[in-house]
Amino acid sequence: MQNANELESFRSDVRAWVTANFPASLQGADLAGIAGGESGARASDTVKAGMEAWRQMLAEKGWGAPTWPVEYGGAGLTDPHADIIGEEIHRAGAYNPIPHMTGMGVTMVGPTLLEYGSEEQKARHLKGIASGEIRWCLGLSEPNAGSDLASLSTKAEDKGDYFALNGQKIWTSGANISQWCGALVRTDTDAGKRDGISFVLLPMQQDGVETRPIRLISGVSPFCETYFTDARAEKGDLLGNLNDGWSVVKRLLQHERQSQTGGRGVSMLDSEPLHVKAQRFVGMDDNGALVDKDLRQRLVRNYMDGAAHRLTAQRITDEAAGRVEVSAAASILKNSNTRFAQQKAELALEIMGSQGIGWSGDDFAEEELGIVREWLSGKAMSIYGGSYEVQNNIISKNVLGLPETTQKG
Amino acid sequence: MAALTEEQSILKDQATSWVETELPVQKFREFRNSNSDGGFDPKAWSAMVDMGWTGILVPENYGGSDLGYLTFGVILEQLGRQLCASPLFASAYVGASAINMGGNDDQKQRWLPGIVDGSEILTFAVDEQPRHQRDAIASKASASDGGFLLSGAKTFVPEGVSATTFVVAARTDAGDIELFLVPADADGVSRTQMDTVDKRDHARVTLTNVALPTEAHLAGMPSGELYEQVLNRACAGVAMEMLGVGCYSFEMTLDYLKTRKQFGKVIGSFQALGHRAAELYSAQEMARSCAEAGVIAIDNGADDQAAMSALSKAKTGEFLFDMSNQLIQIHGGIGMTDDFDAGFYLKRARALEALYGNQALHRDRYATLLGF
């Protein structure tokens, strides 16, 4: 248990520091979009310069990855301290761009490197992540290996001091703007499905790597197809043991689920509570209740689902204090969050009526257009990071101990 | 499971093992088969008194331990798991809450020690019609000769046959709903047992010009406030019992999924059933969070405890409704037989669903409390 006084004094220090240092030029800018590399081109030079200064300040304090050891660019803090940093940055209307700027770096690659990386690998890779300077993508899924990830066929051939990679990855988030990639590759074609897989790290800026953005229903292209043609991964960048990549990726995916159990960051859906939006679009009766009683019931169910999700996340955090086991709870929370968030977006759209079909232009408010795009992009929540159904497989097998019949290794 | 203090943990473990060894659901079956009146086994009830459970909400200076609502809720959850029948909830939870909040010192002195030692069995007499509605109270308590004259008809009163004292919700001359303590043996009080699917003690209580002294009026809170507060607490408590009923139903079902074989495999290996179990388990975890948050909000005196009680009853109700149906469905034919316990859980689930308002009522309350 943390000393409450110590945490409170830490909180006031953080608050003072954020207030003093968050650049005024960044107030109100679409920082998540810029950090994610989506609307960077649209940002003014002042905003870009402010963002870079802010990143450097956060990186110097180790707050890009506060819980990592200091020697790897973190701040060596506990989870409660890290939570306070996040809360105070949010409270000040500021934003910590580093996790977003590193793609999969802070949330997934870093924690896995900390666990499986050699001393040399940790020294070489972690600082660039914690400082927000190196963006990472992950080459996991393939056209014929989605939910059935272990059936992947991208091959890594042993060339002495390096591996030569050949094959195609898909749904590689940010591959076109990343500097490094963690890829799951087959290193032994004779072994069992999960036994011949290894996990390698490779630089993206090389001749053997080609990326093609995929345009989604929401109009954006966060994902790529990534082609490896004799792409080079150094032997020193094999993470974990040869042919033991499945253990590495299982851990990696646990970190992914963990990172997908909470909210979705800054959201147009949160610009006003849904019931307030409904009062505006749908109207109220004399008692102050929504006139559409069916909508009202579904709205309150969604509110309750949200409350139940948040209370469960809190309860599981409290129970897990001091323990590292995240797998079981993460599957439950990922699905409850997904259900809640997708339903919430559908309700917002329903409330807005035909304003909820706007794509662009002055006929629609920015907030309305934002909600429409979030409604569409949110459909991915039940697909990525292990689909809704895969999470239920995990719960039934790993949590409830029911026998597995659907996946053959 | 919420973080418990050492004392709470000890009480919980004691309750778990006592319930499993002394009052498993087989005891309920024997009791049901015996056709006895009263709704519970007196020996089990006095054991609960001896273990101090009746004093959990009672301040120490009135003979209790004052351990709070989460502690009581944890006991109710354990009792729910084995469908333990007793007046513990009606008297020592709901009744004690009414006295604690609405009673003056004399009233507390008069009633609380009796609740603790089990000599008094209080119960809340609210409903006058089949569907619970908070404001549908027609019973009248008219001022008369320095006291009150109370008339009305109550229905589905829990533990109504064994209660020694009714905590009656009635309207005063001003139209407010207030609570009155009515001895079951007072002139003008009559009661009849109702035969319900859960085979617990529910009674119809008729009050005809019952003369009450002023000290029968629990006047410690502003008009109407006590009634609301007691109901909020009652809902959070029912949610904890429902959680226990649902969790045990889940465990029975999971056990069956792992042992029952068809087509040469245990049926839990079929993905349709594996996913259903995963959904039920997730719903159970959500229900637990909401139920525990309901009683914790009361202990903390939280501003939103009314909304939290609605959330706890609605979300636990949602889980238990599905769980009790799947308990039968997944057990197949055996689940339909009276020899198997599943039916007891289904029947109790629906009795608890209706008690103090069903899911829909609490969703409506939640929306109203949030302002839409």
Predicted confidence at residue A1, as pLDDT, reads 46
Which phi and psi (to 5°) does residue B363 adopt?
-65, -40
- CA B40 to chain CA centroid, nearest Å: 14
Q: Are residues A182 and A208 in the same domain?
A: yes
* Nearest-CA distance A316 → chain B (Å): 8
Q: Are residues A203 and A166 in the same domain?
A: yes
Q: Which two tokens stand for residue A228?
A: 């490896």
Predicted confidence at residue A107, as pLDDT, reads 92
* Nearest-CA distance A63 → chain B (Å): 30
B268 lies within 8 A of chain A by CB: yes
Predicted confidence at residue A225, as pLDDT, reads 96
The helix (H) or strand (E) run that includes residue A165 is: strand A162-173
Q: Are residues A12 and A59 in the same domain?
A: yes
Q: CA separation (Å) from A92 to A9, A23, A263, A393, B271? A: 17, 11, 18, 41, 47
The letter for the amino acid at A108 is M
Measured between beta carbons, the chain A residues lying within 8 angstroms of B293 are 311
Quick check: A402 and B3 CB within 8 A?
no
A399 lies within 8 A of chain B by CB: yes
User: Does any domain span residue A170?
Assistant: yes
Q: CA-to-CA distance for B205 and A276, rounded, in angstroms?
A: 44
How many domains are contained in chain A?
3
The helix (H) or strand (E) run that includes residue A198 is: strand A197-203
Q: What residues of chain A, 265 to 294, have a C-beta less than 8 Å from chain B?
A: 275-276, 278-279, 284, 288-290
Q: Are residues A264 and A395 in the same domain?
A: yes
B270 to chain A: nearest residue by CA?
A: A405
Predicted confidence at residue A270, as pLDDT, reads 86
Give me the domain span that covers residue A186.
Answer: 136-242
Q: What residues of chain A, 20 to 59, have a C-beta less than 8 Å from chain B?
A: none
HEC letters along B127-194:
CCCCCCCCCCCCCEEEEECCEEEEEEEEEEEECCCCCCEEEEEEECCCCCEEEEEEECCCCCEEEEEE
A256 is catalytic: yes
User: Does any domain span residue A66?
Assistant: yes
Contact criterion met (CB below 8 Å) for A99 and A110 = no
CATH of the domain at A164: 2.40.110.10
Predicted confidence at residue A405, as pLDDT, reads 67
* Nearest-CA distance A310 → chain B (Å): 9
Q: CA-to-CA distance for A260 and A378, rounded, in angstroms?
A: 12
Strands (E), A209-262: 209-214, 223-234, 238-239
Strands (E), chain B: 122-125, 140-144, 147-158, 165-171, 177-183, 189-194, 202-212, 217-218, 261-262, 265-266
Catalytic residue among A52, A256, A272, A366: A256
User: Does any domain span residue A118?
Assistant: no
Q: Are residues A189 and A271 in the same domain?
A: no
Measured between beta carbons, the chain B residues lying within 8 angstroms of A336 are 282, 286
Q: Are residues A72 and A188 in the same domain?
A: no
* Residues with pLDDT less than 70, chain B: 37-38
* Nearest-CA distance B74 → chain A (Å): 16
CB pairs under 8 A between A and B: 119
Quick check: B286 and A308 CB within 8 A?
yes
Of B281, B286, B315, the CB nearest to A400: B281
Predicted confidence at residue A31, as pLDDT, reads 77
Q: Is A281 exposed, middle or buried (0-12, 13-18, 19+ CB in 10 A)?
A: middle
Quick check: A395 and B282 CB within 8 A?
yes
User: Does any domain span residue A124?
Assistant: no
* Nearest-CA distance A345 → chain B (Å): 19
The residue length of chain A stands at 409
Domain boundary among A209, A242, A275: A242
Q: Which domains does chain B have, with CATH numbers?
A: 6-120 (1.10.540.10), 124-218 (2.40.110.10), 225-370 (1.20.140.10)
* Nearest-CA distance A1 → chain B (Å): 13
Q: CA-to-CA distance for B76 and B56, rounded, in angstroms?
A: 12
Cα dihedral A80, A83, A85, A87 sign: negative
User: Does any domain span residue A111?
Assistant: no
**A218 three-class SS:** coil
Q: Are residues A207 and A298 in the same domain?
A: no
Q: A81: how many CB neighbours lie within 10 A of its CB?
A: 20
Q: Which residue, B320, B180, B298, is CA-closest to B235?
A: B298
User: Does any domain span residue A114?
Assistant: no
Q: Are residues A268 and A363 in the same domain?
A: yes
Q: A192: how many CB neighbours lie within 10 A of its CB?
A: 12
CATH of the domain at A363: 1.20.140.10
Q: What is the ipTM of this complex?
A: 0.95
Q: Are residues A84 and A140 in the same domain?
A: no
Q: Are residues A375 and A276 in the same domain?
A: yes
Q: Are residues A183 and A276 in the same domain?
A: no
The helix (H) or strand (E) run that includes residue A182 is: strand A180-186
B364 lies within 8 A of chain A by CB: yes
Q: What residues of chain B, 298 to 337, have a C-beta less than 8 Å from chain A?
A: 311, 314-315
A318 to chain B: nearest residue by CA?
A: B3
Domain boundary among A207, A242, A277: A242
Predicted confidence at residue A267, as pLDDT, reads 75
CATH of the domain at A95: 1.10.540
Give the pTM. Answer: 0.87
B287 lies within 8 A of chain A by CB: yes
Q: CA-to-CA distance for A310 and B318, rounded, in angstroms?
A: 17
Q: CA-to-CA distance for A232 and A214, rounded, in angstroms?
A: 24
User: Does any domain span residue A227?
Assistant: yes
Q: CA-to-CA distance for B185 and B38, rounded, in angstroms?
A: 16
Quick check: A392 and B257 CB within 8 A?
no
B4 to chain A: nearest residue by CA?
A: A319
Each residue's pLDDT, cut to its tens digit, for chain A (409 residues) gives: 457 889 999 999 999 999 999 998 888 777 777 777 765 456 788 888 999 999 999 999 999 999 999 999 999 999 889 989 998 998 888 889 999 899 999 999 999 999 999 999 999 999 999 999 999 999 999 999 988 999 999 999 999 999 999 999 999 999 999 999 999 999 999 998 899 999 999 999 999 999 999 999 988 888 999 999 999 999 999 999 999 999 999 999 888 877 776 644 557 888 899 999 999 999 999 999 999 999 999 999 999 999 999 999 998 877 766 454 445 788 999 999 999 999 999 999 999 999 999 999 999 998 999 999 999 999 999 998 889 999 999 999 999 999 986 544 4
A307 lies within 8 A of chain B by CB: yes
Which phi and psi (to 5°) does residue B170 adopt?
-145, 155
Q: CA-to-CA distance for A169 and A100, rounded, in angstroms?
A: 22
Domain boundary among A82, A101, A120: A101
Quick check: B289 and A396 CB within 8 A?
no
Of A300, A319, A396, the CB nearest to B367: A300
Q: CA-to-CA distance for A260 and B268, rounded, in angstroms?
A: 28
Q: Are residues A275 and A217 in the same domain?
A: no
Measured between beta carbons, the chain B residues lying within 8 angstroms of A275 are 367, 370-372
User: Does any domain span residue A310?
Assistant: yes
